[in-house]
């Protein structure tokens, strides 16, 4: 049982943010020597910082072994709270910068590839007209664990899709604030001038042997189509090209008799540019929520708040189109 810590005497007057940074780096690198190399200091210096931290707190923060170091249960608790303290400090500095000049700053955004290809450009375009000095760092999160770790990756916010489960059933969202922007859905598309695009009537059975561009069975596009084919007692078509790249799919279906499945928001942006057409298929409507994620326990900077407001404004146009589309058949 760790002894009670005298905050004022042991920690408040001695703990430095530099010490926390050293501790975070050691845990991340799994080695004091590797942490020392990254920080540009000697290994004994790193060891001394860790030893002082452990002495001040009164518990062992790291387990040492022949293959490196690993955080103890106390170390993991210290890491989690320490990262939160660092994050709030960084947000405070950014608040000050924004108050000095509200037209500059940087936003770090995690985003699915399909959103980055269609919805996000519309948001950035509108926001940049009002705040031209703001820089954007956009990271593709397509194949990372859902939900993404905003704090670990340094994201201000994440734009993503919720696949397969109601939000209330996803326990990992407990630490995140979820803003549903609009309900997307899946459409099957082809080039307007291809053999498929020229058809006015089309049955799903005719597409079993078509040349499909899809990603793996773990993706929502594949899952929805597999269910549609299974409902009709049809085999899932063979995938000719496996890819989630919007750029690759739009170019291939525009040039040749390929077929693919897109979120409707993606089709909306690229239909005229690549002369694409939604195929007249009777697919069940499966809501595919596009959501904005932020940390519940983080105070948002004014810059992030203004970007979120802009995002909601852009999303409103998708909501209107989605409602109108559900009232009328394709």
The two domains 101-184+288-327 and 186-278 share their CATH topology (first three levels equal): yes
Closest of 96, 122, 119, 91 to residue 107, by C-alpha: 91
pTM of the model: 0.66
pLDDT band at 78 (very low <50, low <70, confident <90, very high): confident
- pLDDT above 70 (res 6): no
All residues at 6 or more sequence positions from 207 whose CB lies less than 8 Å from its CB, including other chains:
188, 196, 237, 259, 279, 281
- pLDDT above 70 (res 158): yes
- pLDDT above 70 (res 13): no
Task: Confirm if 272 and 156 have CB atoms less than 8 A apart.
Answer: no
User: Which residue did the predictor score with more confidence, 242 or 167?
Assistant: 242
What pLDDT shows up at residue 261? Answer: 93
Class of 7-85 in CATH: mainly alpha
Tell me the two tokens of residue 85.
């303290």
Task: Confirm if 178 and 167 have CB atoms less than 8 A apart.
Answer: yes
pLDDT band at 164 (very low <50, low <70, confident <90, very high): low
Q: What residue spans define the domains of the chain? A: 7-85, 101-184+288-327, 186-278
Distance CA 29, CA 149 (A): 18
**Domain at 101-184+288-327, CATH homologous superfamily:** Periplasmic binding protein-like II (3.40.190.10)
CATH number given to 186-278: 3.40.190.10
Q: Percent of the chain at pLDDT above 70?
A: 84
What pLDDT shows up at residue 50? Answer: 87
Complete edge-to-edge strand list for the sheet that includes strand 211-214:
239-242, 211-214, 258-263, 186-191, 276-278
pLDDT band at 323 (very low <50, low <70, confident <90, very high): very low
In angstroms, the Cα distances linking 81 to 85, 221, 312 are 6, 38, 31
Tell me the two tokens of residue 278.
């939604």
């Amino acid at each position: 049982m760790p002894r009670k810590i005298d905050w004022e005497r042991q920690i408040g007057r001695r703990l430095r943010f530099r010490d926390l940074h050293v501790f975070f780096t050691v845990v991340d690198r799994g080695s004091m020597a590797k942490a020392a190399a990254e920080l540009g200091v000697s290994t004994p210096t790193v060891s001394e910082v860790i030893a002082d931290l452990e002495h001040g707190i009164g518990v062992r923060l790291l387990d040492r072994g022949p293959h490196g170091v690993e955080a103890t249960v106390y170390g993991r608790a210290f890491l989690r709270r320490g990262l939160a303290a660092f994050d709030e400090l960084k947000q405070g500095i950014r608040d000050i910068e924004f108050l000095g000049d509200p037209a500059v700053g940087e936003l770090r955004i995690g985003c699915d590839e399909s959103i980055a290809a269609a919805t996000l450009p519309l948001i950035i375009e509108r926001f940049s007209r009002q705040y031209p000095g703001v820089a954007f760092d956009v990271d593709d999160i397509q194949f990372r664990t859902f939900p993404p770790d905003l704090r670990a990756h340094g994201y201000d916010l994440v734009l993503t899709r919720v696949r397969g489960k109601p939000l209330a059933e996803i326990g990992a969202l407990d630490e995140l604030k979820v803003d549903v922007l609009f309900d997307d859905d899946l459409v099957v598309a082809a080039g307007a001038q291809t053999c498929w695009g020229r058809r006015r009537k089309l049955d799903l059975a005719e597409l079993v042997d078509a040349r499909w561009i899809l990603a793996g069975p773990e993706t929502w596009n594949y899952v929805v189509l597999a269910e549609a084919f299974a409902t009709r007692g049809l085999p899932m078509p063979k995938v000719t090209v496996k890819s989630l790249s919007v750029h690759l799919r739009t170019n291939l279906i525009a040039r040749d008799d390929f077929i693919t499945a897109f979120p409707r928001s993606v089709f909306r942006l690229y239909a005229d540019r690549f002369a694409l057409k939604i195929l007249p298929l009777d697919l069940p409507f499966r809501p595919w929520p596009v959501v904005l994620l932020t940390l519940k326990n983080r105070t948002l900077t004014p810059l992030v708040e203004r970007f979120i407001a802009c995002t909601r404004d852009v999303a409103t146009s998708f909501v209107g189109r989605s409602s109108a589309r559900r009232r009328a058949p394709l």
